[in-house]
Each structure stands twice: as structure tokens, then as C-alpha cells.
């Protein structure tokens, strides 16, 4: 009886060990390079679904063409459409309502980028559309709303500061946040505003911020921002770094989670994404190249998942289709996909 009991305990322990080992192995992730056979800069990325990804290159290597890449099989294959640039410098960003209806700069396409129509004064980045007609765009420190697909727009908010908006995120058709800022010489100021009526009106959040260089909300109440800790003057920089802050009450109050990211990894993050309260990602660049970091404890600690080895390939943006699958883009045609093994 004792021998049988010992065998059962040993077997259960072995199964537990194998289960834990399997779970650990399943959490191992890596970023693989996807070769698009393209050397222009990739400037914006949009995830329409788990399978459909859209990428914008505002200018190819000839500086004469704008290109759009689309994958409908989770990055396995890509189609490329290029057309004569419509603006000097090309589009800075775009918003895809679906794979046919695309808004970029002050142009829109309803056929996947094959033809373009110039809109009115609805020219901004970032953008967000509730449907094919109703949308929000930021231009500098102002926010505009359109109800006719960008042919006209009305001013919804004006910050009257040097700071400009870099991020817009809606959690539903009513609640959204916009944030950004500016940092140069000795000036460093950020702003974040909130709407609860679908973008018709916006209210600045109470705290004073330095420039916000990343934002990710999980719910209408819970979210994260990254602020730039730069301090300096015209002739020198006194301090570099970034700090991760968290709110659980819709932006009324914020707590510091981590201000040592630069000290540990030597990057300034410029994009963040949290899939839940514990799991998130940062993308940033430093003197040694670009890195992607991940956390599983709400941002208290981070680990390196990708490290670029050359300043010739710097990451610009990232987008996630699930809590485990994401894409990152950069200059010289750099495209990465995160895979969990």
C-alpha cells in the first residue's frame, strides 16, 4: 500500500512538472522578420481583424509612389498596391474602416486605394472612424469631427498650446481619449483629454503631464500612458527617460508604475499596448537600435523580446490582433510578426 501511494505521488509530481514545463514553453515568444521585398519606409499599420492587416508606405525609394500592403491570411502572404503620391511627402498615416474604405491625410478611397478623392478640411493624424461617415481627427492641438466622410468637419476641441495630439483611442461609441504633447529644449508639456459623448465635446483631464509618447486603454476606466521625462536646454540635455503611468478611474488620478525603462534598456518607448491589466508591450528606440519589451506584471518589470542590431532598421509603430499576436513596422521595409511557440 505504501509503495502504491508512493508511485501515485511520484506520478502526480511528474505530471505537474510536465504541465508547468509545457505552460512555460507555450509562453515563449519571438519576433520573426517578414520579407516584403520592399525597401521603402513602412509608416503606418492597421489591424482590421486577426487575419487582415493593412500597411502604409507613404513614399517608396523613388519618392514618387505611395504603397499599401494588405494581408488577409495573418501575414503569410501580402499584396502590394502603389500609386503616384498625392501629397508632397506622401501620407503621414491612414485609417482603415475596412479593406476598401481608407482615409489618409485629406484624401479618402472607397476601393482599397485604387482611386482617391480629396476631402475637405478633415486633414489630421491620428484618426478614428465610427462608421464610413462619422469620424474624429486631430490636427496639432485641435480635434475635429466629421459626419460626411471627411468632406467637412467642425472643431470639437482646441487646446491653444504648443502641444499636439498623437493618439486617439475609443473604447466604445461614446468614450474615448486623445493624448500627446511636445518636448524641445527646456519645454516639455503633455495633454490628455476625454470624451463621453462620441467626440462632440472633450474635457482635459485634471493632472498636468509631460509629453505623452504612448497610450493604451483597456477599459473606459483603466489605461496606461508613457510620458517623456526629457529635461534640458538649447545647449544640453539634463535628463532622458520615460515613465509608465496607470489610471483606474478614467484618468482622474494616475500612479507611477515604472520610471526606469531607459535606465535598464536604453530606449525611449514611443508605442505601448496592453491587452489586459497585467500583459503589455512597449516599442522604442535608442542609440543601439530598436527594441520591443513585454511585461506580465502590469509594467513593473519588463523583458526584451526583440532587439534590433542596426540604426538602419528602426521600428516606427506596432499593432496587435490578439493578446499574443502582433506586428511591428519600421524603415527600409522592416516588418516583424510576434509568434508564441
Q: What is the pLDDT of residue 232?
A: 62
What are the φ and ψ backbone dihedral angles of 74, each rounded to 5 degrees? 60, 40
CB atoms within 10 A of CB 120: 13
Give φ, ψ of 179 to 5 degrees.
-150, 165
Q: Quick one: CA dihedral 128, 333, 216, 242, positive or negative?
A: negative
> According to the model, what pLDDT value does residue 340 have?
84
DSSP string, 46-77: EE-SSS-EEEEES--TTSSEEEEEEESSTTSS
Tell me, what's the pLDDT at 311? 72
Surface-to-core class of residue 232, CB atoms within 10 Å of its CB (0-12 exposed, 13-18 middle, 19+ buried): middle
The set of residues, in sequence order, having a beta carbon less than 8 Å from that of 190 and lying 6+ positions away, is 163, 179, 180, 181, 209, 210, 211, 212, 227, 228
Give the separation between CA 317 and CA 307, rounded to whole angstroms: 15
pLDDT in tens, the chain (341 residues): 444 334 333 433 444 443 344 444 446 889 999 999 999 999 999 999 999 999 999 889 998 999 999 999 999 999 999 999 887 766 767 899 888 999 887 889 999 888 998 887 776 678 999 998 999 999 889 999 999 998 999 999 999 888 899 999 999 999 999 999 998 877 889 999 999 999 999 999 988 889 999 999 999 999 999 999 987 655 555 678 899 999 999 999 999 999 999 999 999 999 999 999 999 999 998 877 899 999 999 999 999 999 987 777 889 999 999 999 999 999 999 999 998 87
**What is the DSSP pairing of strand 94-96 with strand 231-232?**
unpaired
- Measured distance CA(101)–CA(79) in Å, rounded: 17
Amino acid at each position: 500500500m505504501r509503495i502504491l501511494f508512493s508511485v501515485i505521488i511520484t506520478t502526480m509530481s511528474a505530471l505537474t512538472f510536465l504541465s508547468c514545463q509545457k505552460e512555460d514553453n507555450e509562453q515563449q515568444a519571438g519576433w520573426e522578420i517578414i520579407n516584403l521585398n520592399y525597401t521603402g519606409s513602412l509608416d503606418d499599420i492597421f489591424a482590421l481583424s486577426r487575419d487582415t492587416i493593412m500597411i502604409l508606405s507613404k513614399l517608396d525609394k523613388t519618392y514618387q509612389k505611395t504603397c499599401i500592403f494588405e494581408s488577409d491570411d495573418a501575414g503569410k502572404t501580402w499584396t502590394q498596391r502603389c500609386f503616384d503620391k498625392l501629397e508632397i511627402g506622401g501620407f503621414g498615416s491612414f485609417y482603415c474602416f475596412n479593406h476598401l474604405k481608407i482615409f489618409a491625410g485629406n484624401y479618402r478611397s472607397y476601393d482599397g486605394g485604387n482611386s482617391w478623392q480629396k476631402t475637405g478640411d478633415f486633414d489630421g493624424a491620428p484618426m478614428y472612424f465610427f462608421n464610413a461617415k462619422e469620424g474624429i481627427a486631430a490636427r496639432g492641438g485641435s480635434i475635429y469631427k466629421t459626419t460626411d466622410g471627411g468632406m467637412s468637419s467642425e472643431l470639437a476641441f482646441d487646446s491653444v498650446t504648443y502641444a499636439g495630439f498623437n493618439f486617439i483611442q475609443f473604447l466604445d461609441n461614446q468614450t474615448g481619449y486623445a493624448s500627446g504633447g511636445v518636448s524641445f529644449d527646456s519645454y516639455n508639456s503633455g495633454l490628455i483629454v476625454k470624451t463621453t459623448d462620441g467626440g462632440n465635446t472633450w474635457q482635459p483631464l485634471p493632472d498636468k503631464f509631460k509629453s505623452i509618447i504612448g497610450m493604451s486603454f483597456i477599459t473606459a476606466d483603466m489605461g496606461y500612458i508613457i510620458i517623456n521625462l526629457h529635461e534640458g536646454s538649447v545647449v544640453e540635455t539634463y535628463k532622458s527617460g520615460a515613465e509608465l503611468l496607470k489610471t483606474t478611474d478614467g484618468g482622474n488620478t494616475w500612479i507611477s508604475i515604472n520610471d526606469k525603462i531607459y535606465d535598464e534598456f536604453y530606449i525611449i518607448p514611443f508605442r505601448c499596448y496592453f491587452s489586459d491589466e497585467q500583459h503589455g508591450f512597449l516599442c522604442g528606440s535608442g542609440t543601439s537600435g530598436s527594441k520591443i519589451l513585454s511585461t506580465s506584471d502590469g509594467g513593473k518589470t519588463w523583458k526584451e523580446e526583440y532587439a534590433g542590431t542596426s540604426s538602419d532598421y528602426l521600428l516606427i509603430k506596432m499593432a496587435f490582433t490578439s493578446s499574443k499576436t502582433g506586428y511591428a513596422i519600421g524603415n527600409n521595409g522592416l516588418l516583424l510578426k510576434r509568434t508564441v511557440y
